[in-house]
Amino acid sequence: MPEMTFDIRWPDGNTQRYYSPSLVVHDHLSAGSSYTVGELVQRTGHAMTEASDRVRAKFGFACTSAAETASRISGAAAGFPLDALVEITSMNPGSEQR
């Protein structure tokens, strides 16, 4: 199963890298795009649920790394207003390699 990383620039300017066990994140986020913090939490929560479901379908168990990613993003987001903007600065591999 192809995995990926994606980088988020938070409203305070810090950039953090996150992991997904599936390329499904491309269905929810786009590199170079901005989202509100609230929207980001919702989109990444859905993406990590789908990623974990794909792992479960293939291997028979949920992906704890996907759950950890969703938790890390929610935790980081809690420090910002829901309407503050974040940017997806990169996604590797990119959507053209899907």
- Return per-residue pLDDT of the chain as tens, 98 residues: 689 999 999 999 999 999 999 999 999 999 999 999 999 999 999 999 999 999 999 999 999 999 999 999 999 999 999 999 999 999 999 876 55
Amino acid 45 reads G
Q: Is residue 70 part of a domain?
A: yes
Structure-block tokens of residue 76: 């980081």
Q: Is residue 58 part of a domain?
A: yes
pLDDT at 96: 65
pLDDT at 6: 98
Q: 48 near 67, Cβ under 8 Å?
A: yes
pLDDT at 95: 75
Q: Is residue 22 part of a domain?
A: yes
Q: Is residue 81 part of a domain?
A: yes
Amino acid 39 reads E
pTM comes to 0.91
Q: 34 near 86, Cβ under 8 Å?
A: yes
Q: Is residue 27 part of a domain?
A: yes
Q: Which domain holds residue 29?
A: 4-93
- In total, how many domains does the chain have? 1
Q: Is residue 98 part of a domain?
A: no
pLDDT at 94: 82
Q: Strand ranges (DSSP E) for the chain?
A: 4-9, 15-20, 34-36, 85-92
